């Protein structure tokens, strides 16, 4: 069986605190994929060094072999904070207002892609399947081809793909997207992002596109583009429920909320997650139903993310202000309506916290998929399941139609969703949960990996 070489910016650190909500879904998903396949995972060590060693540091932990390299501060500034997270991330999340186009960012991005292509080329053997992940490494496949690599190459995008009319605002957009056609297989989280990609290829690159099969042909190259919605590592996540850590977390939420309904949100502190808008929705709920102030407590777990970037500092300040305002206006000596927590939590703790929470509130403005929604469902008690409120703009909404789907920009919609969740009878909660849980269990990360690898293997290149 051929080895799998996975390349992503973030590599899971063993025993890192947090499930999908705290560290993003990518790291956990790839760790699960590599536990099942022989191979190696190349990425950034997360370290900065003035004189970085370019030789990868190889180690094996919990059955997964990683090869990591350090980056220079200028690389981190221009590639990670710059092009990846101040240009592509906001643009791909439809936030053209936050998108920065700096020439230096583009140069840093290309330089770091070259660096990873060099490191990867040294690790890759003839029959290896290569699987590149996310917006940090869009041109990596092209760099590998330029080195003469003939291996099968797949790329997967974990975030949305923007509509063509937004993407054309990116300088050199054609050049960037053209590099994607060097991959044999390109995967997206949902049909919506796939359609936008195919549209761009046809309109802007003049490629021959077959919508049925996802075949995109340009000159000599043919690429297959498909949607592969990612899932959670279901068995591993469910096993967390049997730990003391999960039971303790469950007990502490139940004991500290007593007769109140607890509602949970778990998100990286990112403007794409719609956190200020969510607070407006909660404020609207209390405004409309003041008699419910003693019945509901909202727990927001929001580990800070990408803290050197201004827009992330701004979102944190906005969220703190809004949370403070709501608590200031509605708290009593014995009650605080919103618990705002910046620390990350272990997967087992999150399992317990989700299970103790009767409402899961997941309201991103745009999200490639959102695995918190799936984890929340998986952790529920089948005899008394909680209700998921989900943004219709998360990739997960296409698969999770039995959630209460809301528009995250509308405070009224969020407030109404909370009321509906609080009032939902047990029978309806069970019916909705069973359908949601079936799909979370079946469309899990193992299936996702298998589908992509099988498709890649089967391609004639």
Active site residues per annotation: 158, 367
Q: Residue 83 pairs with which residues in a beta bridge? A: none
Q: Are strands 221-227 and 215-218 parallel, antiparallel or unpaired?
A: antiparallel
Between 158 and 366, CB nearer to ligand F6P: 158
Between 179 and 305, CB nearer to ligand F6P: 305
Beta carbon of residue 184, minimum distance to ligand F6P (angstroms, whole number): 21
Residues 6+ apart with CB under 8 A from 35: 62, 63, 64
Between 24 and 274, CB nearer to ligand F6P: 24
Q: For 45-125, where are the alpha helices, taking DSSP H only?
A: 73-75, 89-92, 103-123
Between 10 and 178, CB nearer to ligand F6P: 10
**Cα–Cα distance, 317 to 312 (Å, whole number):** 9
- 151-169 burial, b for 16+ CB within 10 Å, e for fewer? bbbbbbbbbbbbebebbee
Between 10 and 355, CB nearer to ligand F6P: 10
Beta carbon of residue 134, minimum distance to ligand F6P (angstroms, whole number): 4
Distances (CA, A) of 368 to 137, 157, 221, 392: 17, 8, 27, 12
Beta carbon of residue 92, minimum distance to ligand F6P (angstroms, whole number): 10
Interface positions with ligand F6P (CB under 6 A): 10, 23-27, 134, 158-159, 305-306
The strand order across the sheet containing 57-61 reads 57-61, 64-71, 39-48, 4-10, 129-133, 153-156, 185-188, 221-227, 215-218, 208-210
Beta carbon of residue 98, minimum distance to ligand F6P (angstroms, whole number): 15
For residue 155, the surrounding DSSP H or E stretch is strand 153-156
Q: Is 307 helix (H, G, I), strand (E, B) or coil?
A: coil
**Cα–Cα distance, 348 to 243 (Å, whole number):** 7
User: In Å, how far from its chain's centre is CA 152?
Assistant: 25
Beta carbon of residue 268, minimum distance to ligand F6P (angstroms, whole number): 6
Beta carbon of residue 147, minimum distance to ligand F6P (angstroms, whole number): 24
Q: Are strands 387-391 and 404-406 parallel, antiparallel or unpaired?
A: parallel
- 336-352 burial, b for 16+ CB within 10 Å, e for fewer? ebbbbeeebbbbbbbbb
Between 176 and 356, CB nearer to ligand F6P: 176
């Amino acid at each position: 069986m051929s080895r799998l070489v996975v390349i992503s910016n973030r590599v899971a650190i063993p025993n890192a605190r947090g499930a999908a909500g705290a560290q993003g879904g990518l790291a956990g998903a790839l760790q699960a994929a590599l536990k099942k396949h022989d191979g190696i995972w190349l990425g950034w060590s997360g370290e900065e060094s003035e004189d970085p060693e370019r030789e990868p540091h190889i180690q094996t932990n919990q059955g997964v072999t990683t090869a990591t390299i350090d980056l220079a501060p200028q690389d981190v500034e221009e590639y990670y904070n710059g092009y990846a997270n101040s240009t592509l991330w906001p643009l791909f999340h439809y936030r053209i207002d936050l998108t920065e186009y700096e020439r230096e960012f583009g140069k840093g991005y290309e330089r770091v892609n070259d660096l990873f292509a060099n490191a990867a080329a040294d690790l890759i053997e003839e029959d290896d399947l290569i699987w590149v992940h996310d917006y940090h490494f869009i041109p990596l496949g092209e760099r590998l081809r330029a080195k003469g690599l003939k291996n099968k190459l797949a790329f997967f995008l974990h975030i949305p793909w923007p509509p063509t009319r937004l993407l054309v605002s990116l300088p050199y957009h054609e050049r960037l997207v053209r590099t994607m056609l060097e991959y044999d297989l390109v995967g997206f989280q949902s049909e919506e992002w796939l359609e936008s990609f195919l549209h761009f290829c046809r309109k802007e690159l003049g490629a021959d596109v077959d919508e049925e099969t996802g075949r995109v042909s340009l000159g000599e190259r043919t690429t297959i583009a498909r949607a592969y919605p990612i899932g959670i590592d279901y068995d591993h996540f469910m096993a967390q429920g049997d730990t003391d850590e999960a039971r303790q977390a469950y007990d502490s939420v139940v004991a500290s909320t007593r007769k109140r309904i607890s509602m949970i949100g778990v998100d990286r502190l990112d403007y794409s997650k719609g956190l200020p808008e969510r607070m407006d929705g909660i404020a609207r709920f209390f405004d409309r139903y003041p008699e419910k102030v003693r019945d509901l407590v909202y727990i927001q777990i929001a580990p800070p993310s990408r803290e050197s970037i201004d827009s992330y500092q701004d979102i944190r300040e906005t969220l703190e202000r809004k949370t403070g305002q709501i608590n200031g206006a509605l708290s009593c000596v014995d009650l605080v309506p919103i618990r705002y927590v910046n620390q990350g939590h272990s997967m087992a703790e999150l399992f317990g916290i989700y299970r103790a929470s009767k409402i899961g509130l997941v309201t991103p403005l745009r999200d490639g998929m959102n695995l918190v929604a799936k984890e929340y469902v998986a952790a529920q008690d089948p005899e008394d399941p909680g209700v998921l409120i989900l943004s219709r703009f998360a990739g997960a909404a296409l698969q999770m139609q039995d959630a209460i789907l809301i528009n995250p920009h509308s405070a009224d919609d969020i407030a109404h969703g909370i009321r509906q969740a609080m009032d939902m009878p047990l029978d309806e909660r069970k019916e909705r949960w069973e359908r949601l849980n079936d799909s979370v269990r079946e469309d899990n990360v193992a299936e996702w990996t298998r589908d992509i690898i099988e498709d890649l293997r089967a391609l004639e290149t």
